[in-house]
Structure 1
Amino acid sequence: MKKNFFLFFFCCCVIVVTAQSNACIRINQLGYTPNGLKIAVLGSNEKIAAENFAVINTANNVVVFTKRIGADFGKYGPFVNTYRLDFSSFGKSGNYIVRVDNIVSPAFTIDVSVYDGAADFCLRYMRQQRSGFNPFLKDSCHAHDGYTLYAPVPDSTHINVIGGWHDASDYLQYSTTSANATYHLLAAYRDFPTVFKDEKEANGLDGKNHITDVLDEAKWGLDWLLKMHPKDGWLFNQLGDDRDHRGMRIPKEDTNFYGRGLERPVYFCNGKPQVRGKFMNNSTGVASTAGKFSSAFALGSAIFFNIDKAYADKLYHKSITAYALGLAKPGVAQTASVLSPYIYAEDNWTDDMELASAIAANKKDQSSMLDNAYQYALKDPITPWLGADTAKHYQWYPFINVGHYELAKELTDKRRDTIIQFYKEGIDRVWQKARSNAFYHAIPFIWCSNNLTVSFAIQCYWYRQLTSDNTYMPLEQACFDWIFGCNPWGTSMVYGLPSWGDTPTDPHSAFTHLKNYPIDGGLVDGPVYTSIYKNLIGIQLFNADEYAAYQSDLAVYHDDYGDYSTNEPTMDGTASLIYLLAAQQSQATKEKHFTYSHGGIVRGDSTKKEIALVFTADEFGDGLPVITKTLQEKNLKASFFFTGRFYRNKKFQPAIQQLYVQRNYMGPHSDEHLLYNDWNNRDSLLVSHDRFNADMQNNLSTMQHQNIMVSYPQYFIPPYEWWNDTIAAWSNKLGLKLFNFTSGIRTNADYTYPEMGNTYKSSEWILQSLKDQQDKDANAFNGAIILIHTGTDPRRKDKLYNRLNDIIDYLQLKGYVFKRIDDLLK
């Protein structure tokens, strides 16, 4: 029986459902963050007469927000009429429902903590998929793997390849999906290390081992990949084949399906077509698998370097030997099938070698490896399914070009713009189709459509990180919302997440079907085109379809054990989701601990004793020698934001170059130090959008002419430290992250001079102010952005920059660590 949380009592009366039985409001069941996009979708078979929708606090039934419903997007799936309900501007934490007439959404939460623990929750499914020792069963399985096929030794030679993860609800194990899953887990740890907890031992059982659980899980994958690449020149592509499908059983109860006792076949990567029942697969090389191995090993080596040096060195060597195989045998290595026509028919490989080259560039021959990566990137610029209506099963794996992100992060020349443009064009192809329906959904409904949806959301996220361009944020959010219930069926696609929601309960899984074991955190395949569903072999529903009212000629989804096409969880899809959930939690954590004002950040993480020293300049630069010397002596990095005319001033250029060479952060401060908005009426703009853009572009161009790299996102502090929400939005569109100094810290008063009367603040007064704040609160400057002017009016003789050494010594004594602004606010 489905968990049912669709019935609510409102004003002590049961909600009356409209005559159209499928009229409904779909929401993200996980919830929304206060500053994030918040969209619900209303679907009906009748035109909606109401003009407004309401957000209602479930604690007291009070309407807290209303807004016009907006345009009818028309037919989508089972609905004749669909509408987007945008309540993004409402951000008060609490529990709510959305109502239109008598149509009521499920309850949802708005809070900065709504995604906390979700990524760790999905790790439960990864542990449950372990082969070898399985911590969920507390028993071992598949302990006899395996015997070789196609290897340069006699067929049926035994080789130890015990371990890894079962691919899905069957127990096959594929190198491609395992390497991709391993990579995503490693990347999740690298990019969001504070998201994950340490509650498990390395074997997956309860306990702590001082390594976060996501890294334990990634190492489980790495250890198996090492076995599948046992020596130079040897690489195996899969363990088991579709003879596995002859019967459902718990893995420790595995039976003899292969004719060699409990051993399973392990297929060697020979770069040639291999058995596929009456057919052969279309393998043409090894690079698609070798590239995935190499990138996982290289990233693993970098991460484990400070944890286990010997292990890291081993991974590094294996990354090189796997990469060499990819170079020697370009082409794709498809999977093998014996009984059925269904395989992972991968058709691209240069994306895998691009990723391997980009990751390896961190360790070896950086320039040449980046050149290699770029050449591979040009051969696979836009993942072919983006914007298309269909693709073969796993044809363009791993669904997006991961290498573009890693390469763009490393490049500092014009090639970076080219790579980012590839991402942008692919996203825009989807956007041009998605924007025409209320769900903003244009992912092909092929097998594993949820995997494509998650991967595409990650590409949108990576594009946003590389550029600070939020143009496609609504599309990115729509993909995330789709996975957790904002879809025609109104169900989360993740088993047990959220625990109170409508989630799969009868997946195509032996664990649930035979033993009623939960498969917490498993991402199911997701909807397929109705035309595909009707032509699949062996599909049979065993229970009444609770989503019958929401099936359509477009696509179907069934929470039924018998539907292996839409309701089977996959290991690699879940691993990708773990990365996406970690990204969501990390962003929400910033909302929790960062401080914002008028669209700009004014304080970093308030839980960390970290500080950024920021220096600005337009006209005066008399402090440059002292500041540069002090930072060098203290071995500290700071952040400098200069106007275009300051950068162009030849007398300042030698010092600017010295600061840049010393790896301080250099950023823009507007070209002509414009006052953007009125001092007394903050909402009153004094510049046009065109003037703002032209001025900023001049500032950035001047930096580039001074050979100072402009990288995006580019941090930017506004002139006069004065701005409003419109300026923040305009900045965002240019890829600029607007920030300002932390309010209450009076170091910025160093611009004053005695002739200004009571406004003047001496350096001694400013230092004492810092000490007074610290005495009142030991964490007064956690995440603080401290601004000092690089030079001041000659009438001020008492220069604060001459006391920079004292400021640094005092704050370090109080336990604060100094960061560049990009590190403080990342």
Structure 2
Amino acid sequence: MPSRVSKSIFCNQVGYLTSGDKRFWIQAREAQPFALHTPDGQAVFAGLTKPVGGDWYVGDFTALRVPGTYVLTVGSLEARVVVHRRAYGDVLEAMLRFFDYQLCGVALPEEDAGPWAHAPCHTSDAKVLGTERAVACPGGWHDAGDYGKYTVPAAKAVADLLLAHEYFPAALAHVRPMRSVHREPHLPPALEVAREEIAWLLTMQDPATGGVYHKVSTPSFPPLDTRPEDDTAPLIMSPISYAATATFCAAMAHAALVYRAHDPALASCCTDAAQRAYAWLSEHEMRPFRNPDGIFTGEYGDRELRDELLWASSAMLRMTGDSAWARVCEPLLDLDLAWELGWADVALYGVMEYLRAPSAAVSGDVRSKVKSRLLRELDALAAMAESHPFGIPMRDEDFIWGSNMVLLNRAMAFLLAEGVGVLHPAAHTVAQRAADYLFGANPLGQCYVTGFGQQPVRQPHHRPSVADDVDDPVPGMVAGGPNRNLQDEIARAKLAGRPAMTAYMDHQDSYSTNEVAIYWNSPAVFVVAGLLEAGGR
């Protein structure tokens, strides 16, 4: 039977780090020879693809470590590939600048935002639902493709950026935020960007009780073609919730530590806010948040709240170094909670805060036990990645709304673990495969980032990008990715019967596969910064 090669080479369209792994994928019935040439035809590398499951074959040219732009050929197929020491520098900057494009309440000037500039938006006070009380809560980031601002996912996004700064400052040092929109431009880039969301989060805490409001939004989503400054419906502050208060407490305690050396005044505010939030938690039951009557924006509800308490308690432990907090959070580490880094399942944030707390403040036996479980969790993810044709720790059931976040969170877990001495041999391989997949090495050949690659996301579910007069969307946004549950009308109509990993469409109406979100970009910043810092040494 003659060999059959797919119509495409599936590769990392952004580029390959000089000292990093370099792979591409094809579909075929048997191994295929491949070669790389310079643009003028000089041969630099040759190899043979290997089977990795089903009809997928992988080619590996990791040994090519000479920077340059090359032509990769497999039979009659060609692809352009770039090898560079800072191959991810531009995309990392764009991913971090996305948070500036999401800024609320301020004008984005053309000098920084280019064709995506807009006037100030959502500048009015918000009315606390069911009362006549108005609260000033300016600033922060629009959460996703809509203009709501939600405490729970904001805490995850802030934590990811703070962690990226702590772990990979060298990679982020080259990034340039929008200088004209920041109040504190002397800070390191990730801290400069995160400060805007932290300042907004502080406005969400009730000064009388210490509890934190769940969200501020208009009652309903505006039409998709609404510019930020044209979204003038009244702003409503939804009630205080346990999840919002706990995640706020954790993020503030983390920020208090990180900003001590850079912005002592902010660190002091965060310390006080975290303490008052935890006091509220101590006096209230764990009750899931549900959208009140008349509010139809993102709910971010969560039935399991013990993981939020673990994160808050561990963050307080690390912030204070007081062993009294260890006695609070150590029993929570024994619970059967999912150790993940999502906006709902946040236990792994708590685990990492516990393991990064001063060793004198925690039990050595508990610390060892936690590290052992963390290693087992990573072993399970590594085994999953080993059995996947694209080397990613994903199963069909993991391709849900925001599947790219799921993947990036899992890659992030490996890199976080290294910082506490849990070194897994698959860590950087899994992180690299996640980046390869995100940047185009997937069955659709889709680069899931706007503005990058040969096949970038062009029609995201993102109101500013839909409403502007620019053909291209805001750059640097990570799309949600394949979603086997097909939770929007156009996805159900067009994608029914597709395999889970291909249940995606680049269409502005497909909010369940093609929306963007701050908490999808934040783990992307962490993982890409980690790869760039390791590859740039």
Regarding TM over 0.5, the answer is yes
Closer/same/farther in 2, CA of residues 92 and 242 from structure 1, 3 Å limit: farther
Q: CA deviation at 1:520?
A: 1.3
What is the identity, as a one-letter code, of the residue corresponding to 1:23? K
Task: Map 1:747-826; keep pairs closer than 5 Å.
Answer: none
Q: Are 1:573 and 2:520 counterparts?
A: yes
State TM-score, norm by structure 1. 0.58
Stretches of structure 2 lacking an aligned partner (at least 5 in a row)? none
Closer/same/farther in 2, CA of residues 471 and 214 from structure 1, 3 Å limit: closer
Partner of 2:215: 238
Partner of 1:536: 488
What is the identity, as a one-letter code, of the residue corresponding to 2:137? V
What is the identity, as a one-letter code, of the residue corresponding to 2:97? R
Q: Are 1:209 and 2:185 counterparts?
A: yes
Q: CA deviation at 1:427?
A: 3.0
Closer/same/farther in 2, CA of residues 345 and 234 from structure 1, 3 Å limit: closer
Whether the 8 Å CA contact 2:92–2:525 is kept in 1: the answer is: yes
CA distance in 2, matches of 1:265, 1:148: 6
Deviations 1:798-822 (A, max 9, x none): xxxxxxxxxxxxxxxxxxxxxxxxx
What is the identity, as a one-letter code, of the residue corresponding to 2:50? G
What is the identity, as a one-letter code, of the residue corresponding to 1:243? S
Q: CA deviation at 1:226?
A: 0.6
Task: Map 1:160-171; keep pairs closer than 5 Å.
Answer: 160-171=136-147
Deviations 1:591-616 (A, max 9, x none): xxxxxxxxxxxxxxxxxxxxxxxxxx
What is the identity, as a one-letter code, of the residue corresponding to 1:141? C
CA distance in 2, matches of 1:469, 1:553: 28
Q: CA deviation at 1:96?
A: 2.6
Whether the 8 Å CA contact 1:186–1:300 is kept in 2: the answer is: yes
Q: CA deviation at 1:243?
A: 1.1
Deviations 1:247-267 (A, max 9, x none): 5300100143xxxxxx21101
Q: Are 1:321 and 2:247 counterparts?
A: no
Partner of 2:23: 39
Deviates more, 1:446-455 or 1:467-476: 467-476
What is the identity, as a one-letter code, of the residue corresponding to 2:516? P
Question: SS of the residue aligned with 2:211?
Answer: coil
What is the identity, as a one-letter code, of the residue corresponding to 2:237? V
Q: CA deviation at 1:503?
A: 0.8
Whether the 8 Å CA contact 2:221–2:296 is kept in 1: the answer is: no
CA distance in 2, matches of 1:479, 1:516: 33
Q: CA deviation at 1:72?
A: 4.9
Partner of 1:415: 366
Partner of 2:444: 489
Match of 2:468 among 488, 500, 515: 515
Partner of 1:179: 155
CA distance in 2, matches of 1:202, 1:362: 32
CA distance in 1, matches of 2:217, 2:297: 16
Partner of 1:506: 459
Q: CA deviation at 1:507?
A: 1.2
Task: Map 1:214-229; keep pairs closer than 5 Å.
Answer: 214-229=190-205
Deviations 1:478-507 (A, max 9, x none): 222111111111121111135xx3211111
Partner of 1:267: 238
Question: SS of the residue aligned with 1:486?
Answer: coil
Q: CA deviation at 1:123?
A: 2.3
Partner of 1:665: none
Q: CA deviation at 1:97?
A: 3.8
Partner of 2:88: 115
Q: Are 1:474 and 2:418 counterparts?
A: no
Whether the 8 Å CA contact 1:332–1:348 is kept in 2: the answer is: no
Closer/same/farther in 2, CA of residues 141 and 112 from structure 1, 3 Å limit: same
Whether the 8 Å CA contact 1:346–1:395 is kept in 2: the answer is: no
CA distance in 2, matches of 1:581, 1:571: 15
Whether the 8 Å CA contact 1:457–1:480 is kept in 2: the answer is: no
Partner of 1:582: 529
CA distance in 2, matches of 1:83, 1:214: 38
Question: SS of the residue aligned with 1:522?
Answer: coil
More helix by share: 2
Match of 1:372 among 306, 328, 331: 328
Closer/same/farther in 2, CA of residues 210 and 414 from structure 1, 3 Å limit: same
CA distance in 1, matches of 2:375, 2:366: 14
State TM-score, norm by structure 2. 0.87
What is the identity, as a one-letter code, of the residue corresponding to 2:383? Q
What is the identity, as a one-letter code, of the residue corresponding to 1:210? H
CA distance in 2, matches of 1:65, 1:348: 52
Task: Map 1:7-406; keep pairs closer than 5 Å.
Answer: 22-44=6-28, 47-48=29-30, 51-74=31-54, 81-104=55-78, 106-135=79-108, 136=113, 137-149=117-129, 155-194=131-170, 195-197=172-174, 199=176, 204=181, 209-231=185-207, 232-240=209-217, 243-256=220-233, 263-270=234-241, 286=242, 288-331=243-286, 333-334=288-289, 336=291, 338=294, 343-383=299-339, 396-398=344-346, 401-406=348-353
Whether the 8 Å CA contact 1:188–1:579 is kept in 2: the answer is: yes
Whether the 8 Å CA contact 2:222–2:231 is kept in 1: the answer is: no
Quick one: higher RCO (CA 8 Å, sep 6+), 1 or 2?
Answer: 2
Question: SS of the residue aligned with 2:45?
Answer: strand
Whether the 8 Å CA contact 2:34–2:48 is kept in 1: the answer is: no
Closer/same/farther in 2, CA of residues 395 and 121 from structure 1, 3 Å limit: closer
Give the RMSD, CA atoms, in angstroms. Answer: 3.0
Q: CA deviation at 1:23?
A: 3.2
CA distance in 2, matches of 1:347, 1:198: 38
Closer/same/farther in 2, CA of residues 539 and 64 from structure 1, 3 Å limit: closer
Q: CA deviation at 1:357?
A: 2.8
Closer/same/farther in 2, CA of residues 439 and 334 from structure 1, 3 Å limit: farther
What is the identity, as a one-letter code, of the residue corresponding to 2:482? P
Closer/same/farther in 2, CA of residues 299 and 316 from structure 1, 3 Å limit: same
CA distance in 2, matches of 1:485, 1:315: 40
Closer/same/farther in 2, CA of residues 344 and 201 from structure 1, 3 Å limit: closer
CA distance in 1, matches of 2:228, 2:13: 32
Aligned length: 515
Closer/same/farther in 2, CA of residues 82 and 241 from structure 1, 3 Å limit: farther
Q: CA deviation at 1:525?
A: 0.9
Q: CA deviation at 1:245?
A: 4.2
Q: CA deviation at 1:576?
A: 2.2
Deviations 1:661-711 (A, max 9, x none): xxxxxxxxxxxxxxxxxxxxxxxxxxxxxxxxxxxxxxxxxxxxxxxxxxx
Question: SS of the residue aligned with 1:66?
Answer: strand
CA distance in 2, matches of 1:163, 1:174: 12
Stretches of structure 1 lacking an aligned partner (at least 5 in a row)? 1-17, 75-80, 257-262, 271-285, 387-393, 591-826
Partner of 2:507: 560
Whether the 8 Å CA contact 2:317–2:354 is kept in 1: the answer is: no
CA distance in 1, matches of 2:287, 2:5: 49
Partner of 1:458: 412
Q: CA deviation at 1:509?
A: 2.1
Q: CA deviation at 1:297?
A: 1.3
CA distance in 2, matches of 1:307, 1:188: 16
CA distance in 2, matches of 1:239, 1:374: 34
Deviations 1:731-775 (A, max 9, x none): xxxxxxxxxxxxxxxxxxxxxxxxxxxxxxxxxxxxxxxxxxxxx
What is the identity, as a one-letter code, of the residue corresponding to 1:378? D
